[in-house]
């Protein structure tokens, strides 16, 4: 038996991969299937799941309601649709901002002297790996009414003799946007850097020789060739922004409720796991659809692994 195994390359491979498959199937694929099954179910009085088959949870998220104030048979309740829309627009805005901030930095690092490149990259990795929750806390300290930014502004106003009313920055949609941009910026810098680094320098020389000015060179050479990095970075930023609930929880307070907060509350406070499961699957569907169309349009780079 052992000898036969040694001869058989295919069963050796299967043997080596099997622990991984146990984890991937057991803790990824089966949980997803279970989430799907539960999302058709109902919540029992004590918060458990009653296995039924109905689309009521999905109908509820989409806002089709039979409990109408005007007494109609059916009407639109935009509560959850608004949350979905807010999450989508926030993810879109964060991604665009992150690209705008990440690109110049990635470009700078890619064209730095090779000896210095690692140091600059290292400087991107340290904030990336500093704990997520701690980084949100840092922004709480900065943005609070009595926080660092307001103290600094107040001090500056005092210097020139102006009266200063502290700005209300924490617990606003703006705070959530800044937090998201801060949290996920490194995820965009690394893949853009990877694709920019690959561009052969002779292409720039050729462009310059042929009379292209720097701006033209950027739009005709640099940008198109770095698109795989931008695409990979977009996937790495857009998906987590859609699903994160800590940033909106700590920086948005009760003002900014995203789909992540909605899901989290169904499992902890409101205790309807069936509705939470449906919301979770809608979130997954939204990210997969966006990723699919986006990658089909722009291609899918290997840069995603680099980050």
Scan residues 29-48 and list those touching another protein (CB under 8 A): 29-32, 34-35, 38, 48
CB of 145 to another protein, least distance (A): 9
Of 43 and 144, the one with the shorter C-beta distance to another protein is 144
Q: Is there binding between residue 160 and another protein (CB under 8 A)?
A: no
Given the rule CB under 8 A, which of 53-61, 64-72, 144-152, 190-198 is the region that contacts another protein?
144-152
Query: CA-to-CA distance for 142 and 254, rounded, in angstroms?
Result: 19
Total residues binding another protein (CB under 8 A): 98
**Which run of H or E residues covers position 74?**
none
Structure-block tokens of residue 246: 């800590």
How far apart are the C-alpha atoms of 12 and 225, rounded to whole Å?
41
Applying CB under 8 A, among 92, 291, 294, 298 the residue interacting with another protein is 291
By CB under 8 A, name the one of 52, 89, 151, 165 that touches another protein: 151
Q: Which residues of 121-148 are buried (b: 16+ CB within 10 A; e: fewer)?
A: beebeeebeeeeeebbeebeebbbeebe
Contact 54, 40 (CB under 8 A): yes
Selected range binding another protein among 11-19, 62-70, 155-163, 166-174, rule: CB under 8 A: 11-19
Report the residue from 5, 13, 76, 216 that binds another protein according to the rule CB under 8 A: 13
Contact positions with another protein (CB under 8 A) in 202-261: 204-205, 208, 214, 235-236, 239-240, 242-246, 249-250, 260
CA-to-CA distance for 92 and 232, rounded, in angstroms?
15
Q: Which CB, 169 or 250, lies closer to another protein?
A: 250
Among 50, 55, 133, 223, binds another protein (CB under 8 A): 133
The tokens of 55 are what? 């689309």
Residues facing 64 on adjacent strands: 76
Determine, following the binding rule CB under 8 A, whether residue 127 of this chain makes contact with another protein: yes
Among 3-11, 52-60, 71-79, 167-175, the segment contacting another protein (CB under 8 A): 3-11
Which residue stretch of 75-83, 164-172, 179-187, 223-231 sits at the interface with another protein (rule: CB under 8 A)?
A: 179-187
| SS3 state at 50 | strand
Of residues 107-126, which lie at the interface with another protein (CB under 8 A)? 107-108, 111-113, 118, 121-126
Q: Does 2 bind another protein (CB under 8 A)?
A: no
């Amino acid at each position: 038996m052992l000898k036969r195994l040694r001869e058989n390359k295919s069963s050796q491979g299967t043997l080596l991969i099997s622990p991984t498959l146990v984890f991937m199937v057991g803790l990824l694929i089966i949980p997803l299937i279970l989430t799907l099954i539960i999302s058709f179910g109902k919540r029992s009085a004590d918060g458990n799941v009653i296995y039924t088959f109905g689309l009521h949870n999905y109908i509820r998220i989409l806002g089709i309601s039979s409990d109408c104030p005007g007494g109609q048979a059916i009407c639109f309740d935009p509560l959850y649709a608004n949350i979905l829309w807010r999450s989508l627009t926030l993810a879109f805005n964060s991604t665009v901002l992150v690209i705008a901030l990440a690109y110049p930095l990635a470009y700078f690092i890619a064209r730095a002297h090779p000896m210095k490149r690692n140091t600059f990259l290292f400087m991107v990795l340290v904030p990336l790996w500093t704990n997520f929750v701690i980084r949100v806390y840092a922004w709480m300290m900065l943005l609070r009414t009595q926080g660092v930014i307001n103290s600094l502004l107040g001090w500056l106003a005092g210097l020139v003799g102006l009266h200063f009313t502290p700005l209300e920055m924490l617990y606003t949609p703006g705070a959530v946007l800044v937090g998201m941009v801060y949290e996920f910026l490194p995820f965009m810098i690394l893949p853009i850097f990877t694709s920019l680094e690959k561009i052969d320098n002779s292409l720039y020389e050729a462009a310059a020789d042929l009379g292209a000015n720097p701006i033209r060179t950027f739009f005709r050479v640099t940008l198109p060739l770095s698109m795989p990095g931008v695409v990979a970075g977009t996937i790495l930023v857009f998906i987590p922004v859609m699903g994160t609930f800590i940033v909106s929880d700590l920086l948005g307070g009760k003002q900014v409720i995203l789909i992540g907060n909605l899901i989290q509350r169904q499992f902890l406070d409101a205790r309807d796991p069936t509705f939470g499961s449906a919301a979770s699957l809608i979130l997954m569907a939204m990210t997969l659809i966006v990723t699919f169309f986006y990658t089909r349009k722009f291609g899918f780079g290997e840069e995603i692994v680099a980050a």
